[in-house]
Structure 1
Amino acid sequence: MSEQNVSAVERALMILDAFTDQDADLSLKDLSERTGMYKSTLSRLAGTLESRGFLMISGRGRYRLGPALWRLGSIYRRSFRMDDIVRPHLAALVEESGETASFYVPEGSNRLCLFRENSSRSLRHHLEEGAILPTDRGAAGHVIRAWGNGIDDRALEVLQAGFAQSDGERDPDISAIAVPVLDRHKQMLGVLTLSGPASRFTSEVRLKALALLQSHALDCGRSLSA
Structure 2
Amino acid sequence: MSTGSTERTGPLQTVDRALDVLLSFDEYRTSWGVLELAAEFDLSKSTAQRLLASLAGKGFLRADPDTRRYSMGPAMWRMAGLWERSGGLSSLAEPVLAELARTSGRTSLFCVPDGAHVRCIAAVGGSEGPRRSHPFVDELYPAHAGATSRAYFAFLDPAERRALLSGRPSARYSDLTPFDEREVEALFDEAVEQGHAVSQGEYDAASRALAVPVFGGKRPAGSLTLVENKNSAHGDDLMDHLAALRGSADELTGLLSNRRPAPPTRNWRRGHRTAPRRVPSS
**Structure 1 runs, 4 residues or longer, greater than 6 Å off:** none
Given candidates 79, 90, 103, the residue that maps to 1:83 is 90
After superposition, residues 101-112 of structure 1 pair within 5 angstroms as 101-112=108-119
3-state secondary structure, aligned to 2:154: helix
Give the aligned partner of residue 157 of structure 1.
190
After superposition, residues 73-152 of structure 1 pair within 5 angstroms as 73-78=79-84, 80-121=87-128, 123-124=130-131, 127-148=135-156, 149-150=160-161, 152=185
Cα gap change, 1:102/1:120 in structure 2, threshold over 3 Å: closer, same or farther? Answer: same
The answer on whether the counterparts of 2:107 and 2:129 sit within 8 Å (CA) in structure 1 is: no
The answer on whether the counterparts of 2:129 and 2:228 sit within 8 Å (CA) in structure 1 is: no
Given candidates 194, 215, 223, the residue that maps to 1:182 is 215
Q: CA deviation at 1:159?
A: 0.8
Q: CA deviation at 1:77?
A: 1.7
Give the aligned partner of residue 210 of structure 1.
242
Give the aligned partner of residue 59 of structure 1.
none
If the length of structure 1 is used for normalisation, what is the TM-score?
0.62
Paired residues, number: 160
- Which whole-Å CA distance do the structure 2 matches of 1:166 and 1:150 have between them? 20
- Which whole-Å CA distance do the structure 2 matches of 1:191 and 1:115 have between them? 11
The answer on whether the counterparts of 1:112 and 1:131 sit within 8 Å (CA) in structure 2 is: yes
Q: CA deviation at 1:99?
A: 0.8
Cα gap change, 1:166/1:72 in structure 2, threshold over 3 Å: closer, same or farther? Answer: farther
Give the aligned partner of residue 224 of structure 1.
256
The answer on whether the counterparts of 1:99 and 1:124 sit within 8 Å (CA) in structure 2 is: no
Instruction: Return the letter of the residue paired with 1:142.
Output: R
If the length of structure 2 is used for normalisation, what is the TM-score?
0.51
Given candidates 229, 233, 240, the residue that maps to 1:197 is 229
Q: CA deviation at 1:103?
A: 0.3
Q: CA deviation at 1:144?
A: 1.8
The answer on whether the counterparts of 1:100 and 1:124 sit within 8 Å (CA) in structure 2 is: no
The answer on whether the counterparts of 2:107 and 2:130 sit within 8 Å (CA) in structure 1 is: no
3-state secondary structure, aligned to 2:108: strand
The answer on whether the counterparts of 2:148 and 2:223 sit within 8 Å (CA) in structure 1 is: yes
Describe the superposition over 1:40-93 as per-residue Cα deviations: whole angstroms up to 9, x where unpaired. Answer: xxxxxxxxxxxxxxxxxxxxxxxxxxx667524313325644233210011001
Structure 2 unaligned regions, length at least 5? 1-72, 163-184, 259-282
3-state secondary structure, aligned to 1:165: strand
3-state secondary structure, aligned to 1:124: coil
Given candidates 50, 71, 88, the residue that maps to 2:77 is 71
Give the aligned partner of residue 32 of structure 2.
none
- Which whole-Å CA distance do the structure 2 matches of 1:81 and 1:107 have between them? 17
Structure 1 unaligned regions, length at least 5? 1-66
3-state secondary structure, aligned to 1:218: helix
Percent of residue pairs identical? 26
Cα gap change, 1:74/1:123 in structure 2, threshold over 3 Å: closer, same or farther? Answer: closer
Cα gap change, 1:201/1:145 in structure 2, threshold over 3 Å: closer, same or farther? Answer: farther
3-state secondary structure, aligned to 1:147: coil
Give the aligned partner of residue 173 of structure 1.
206
The answer on whether the counterparts of 1:176 and 1:201 sit within 8 Å (CA) in structure 2 is: no
Cα gap change, 1:133/1:78 in structure 2, threshold over 3 Å: closer, same or farther? Answer: same
Instruction: Return the letter of the residue paired with 1:153.
Output: A
Cα gap change, 1:108/1:213 in structure 2, threshold over 3 Å: closer, same or farther? Answer: same
